[in-house]
């Protein structure tokens, strides 16, 4: 009992130091680590005591960090993999994720920040400035990584601690305290000198979402429950039977117009397709172009009639095609006078489940 009291006191004292902004090191021999399900071992490698993580992920069991600094050394081989860190982690299905791609050294997607919603790493929805950046790695050598998290933003440093490699201008999950996890990302990876500093959380307003229809951007959608994508196979028209299988909630897009559908999935639902729909009220009969992006498969219906089927999943076009989302496709909507119902049926493979759409203009139409 005395030993338990002593351990409790040490833990509480550590947390108090933490709250005061002191850096806390967590040795990999500490029982604060949950290593269940991971293949790991503690060793000394290239002069550093480290955790060798051959597969899976480990996390600190008793940590609640919302704002603060995370630092670690990391060593990985020159092979395909995605080793990295999950922070503000609620569980392995929900958190903020930063990782590296050793096999893309020097390329624009050598690094990646992405939110994780309900088990979906949405990297296909988040790429470029603020999400990913090129860097050349040195393999089987130690790199130092620092993640400075504050409010809805973060700066991520690799080796150069004076200049962030990535400035995340908006973390996609609402700020909430959580733990830190280390992930092998399917490649043997070593971590050393892991430490964290807890800081007082700062409050930042979320970036505003444009009013629905601003410059044609659709930012308010009716989002469905999940269904099996086979429901729409070879369906050139929507029938009352098909439409009866859906319930709807009103959801806003992100400021960019992207709707991350993984946010709205249900924990025990394994359906791989969802619908995002919008009602377009037209003052006249007219043709209106709409540009859109999706991940990974889409069927587009207007007034129950199929207009487009497409797939943009990973490597579907060539071996370097990532399946990232953007306003890459355009179709013309033959609008009738009055209400027109536009459906984007989006099915997921992996890497991000989402849709975005932008009308060429808002002349003589309203959205709801």
My answer on whether 175 and 305 are in the same domain is no
Q: What is the pLDDT of residues 201-216, one digit of tens each?
A: 999 999 999 999 999 9
Higher-pLDDT residue of 86 and 17 is 86
Question: Closest Cα to residue 96, out of 18, 175, 167, 161?
Answer: 175
My answer on whether 180 and 295 are in the same domain is no
- At residue 316, the pLDDT reads 84
Which of the listed residues 199, 227, 256 is the one where a domain comes to its end?
199
Q: What is the pLDDT of residues 111-136, one digit of tens each?
A: 999 999 999 999 999 999 999 999 99
Q: What angle do CA 273, 275, 278 make, to 5 degrees?
A: 170
What values do phi and psi take at 247, rounded to 5? -120, 160
Q: Out of 8-22, 45-59, 256-270, which region has the weakest mean confidence (pLDDT)?
A: 8-22
My answer on whether 161 and 45 are in the same domain is yes
Half-sphere exposure of residue 251: CA atoms within 13 angstroms, side-chain side = 24
Residue 10 lies in a domain: no
Residue 1 lies in a domain: no
My answer on whether 166 and 241 are in the same domain is no
- At residue 20, the pLDDT reads 55
Residue 207 lies in a domain: no
Residue 12 lies in a domain: no
Residue 98 lies in a domain: yes
Question: Is residue 8 scored above 70 in pLDDT?
Answer: no
- Tokens standing for residue 249: 């909630």
Which of the listed residues 147, 167, 199 is the one where a domain comes to its end?
199
Q: In this structure, what CATH number is given to the domain that contains residue 100?
A: 2.60.120.560
For residue 255, the enclosing domain spans: 214-367
Q: What is the pLDDT of residues 308-332, one digit of tens each?
A: 999 998 888 888 788 899 999 999 9
Q: What is the pLDDT of residues 32-41, one digit of tens each?
A: 999 999 999 9
Determine the Cα–Cα distance for residues 126 and 116; give it in Å rounded to an integer.
11
My answer on whether 193 and 239 are in the same domain is no
Give 206's DSSP letter: P
Q: In this structure, what CATH number is given to the domain that contains residue 297?
A: 2.60.120
Residue 5 lies in a domain: no
My answer on whether 229 and 256 are in the same domain is yes
My answer on whether 179 and 229 are in the same domain is no
Ordered DSSP codes for 22-61 = --EE--TTSTTEE-TT-EEEEEEETTEEEEEEEESEEEET
Residue 59 lies in a domain: yes
Per the prediction, the chain carries an average pLDDT of 94
My answer on whether 262 and 180 are in the same domain is no
Q: What is the pTM of this model?
A: 0.91
Residue 96 lies in a domain: yes
Question: Closest Cα to residue 258, out of 139, 130, 92?
Answer: 130
Q: Out of 4-18, 186-200, 336-350, which region has the weakest mean confidence (pLDDT)?
A: 4-18
Question: Is residue 107 scored above 70 in pLDDT?
Answer: yes
Q: How many domains does the chain have?
A: 2
My answer on whether 194 and 79 are in the same domain is yes
- At residue 15, the pLDDT reads 45
DSSP strand pairing (48-55 vs 39-45): antiparallel
């Amino acid at each position: 009992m005395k030993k338990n009291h002593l351990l409790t006191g040490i833990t509480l004292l550590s947390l108090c130091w933490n709250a005061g902004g002191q850096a806390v090191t967590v040795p990999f021999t500490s029982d604060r680590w949950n290593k269940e399900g991971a293949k790991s071992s503690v060793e000394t490698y290239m002069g550093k005591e480290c955790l060798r993580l051959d597969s899976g992920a480990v996390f600190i069991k008793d940590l609640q960090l919302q704002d603060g600094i995370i630092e670690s050394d990391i060593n990985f081989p020159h092979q395909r993999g995605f080793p990295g860190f999950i922070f503000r982690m609620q569980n392995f299905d929900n958190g903020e994720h930063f990782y590296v791609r050793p096999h893309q050294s020097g390329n624009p997607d050598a690094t990646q920040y992405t939110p994780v919603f309900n088990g979906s790493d949405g990297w296909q929805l988040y790429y470029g400035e603020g999400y990913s950046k090129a860097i050349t790695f040195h393999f089987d050598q130690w790199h130092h990584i620092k993640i400075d998290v504050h409010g809805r933003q973060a700066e991520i440093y690799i080796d150069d601690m004076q200049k962030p490699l990535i400035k995340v201008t908006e973390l996609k999950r609402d700020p909430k305290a959580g733990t830190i996890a280390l992930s092998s990302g399917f490649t043997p990876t070593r971590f050393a000198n892991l430490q964290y500093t807890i800081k007082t959380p700062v409050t930042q307003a979320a970036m505003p979402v444009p009013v629905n229809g601003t410059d044609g951007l659709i930012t308010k959608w009716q989002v469905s429950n999940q269904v099996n994508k086979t429901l729409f196979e070879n369906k050139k028209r929507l029938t009352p039977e098909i439409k009866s299988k859906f319930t709807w909630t009103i959801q806003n897009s992100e400021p960019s117009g992207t709707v991350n559908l993984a946010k709205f999935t249900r924990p025990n639902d394994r359906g791989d397709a969802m619908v995002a729909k919008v009602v377009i009220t037209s003052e006249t009969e007219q043709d209106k172009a709409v540009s859109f992006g999706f991940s990974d498969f889409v069927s587009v219906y207007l007034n129950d009639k199929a207009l487009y089927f497409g797939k943009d999943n990973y490597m579907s076009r060539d071996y370097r095609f990532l399946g990232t989302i953007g306003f890459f496709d355009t179709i013309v909507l033959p609008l009738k006078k009055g209400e027109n119902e536009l459906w984007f049926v989006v099915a997921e493979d992996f890497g991000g489940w989402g849709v975005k759409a932008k009308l060429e203009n808002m002349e003589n139409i309203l959205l709801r």
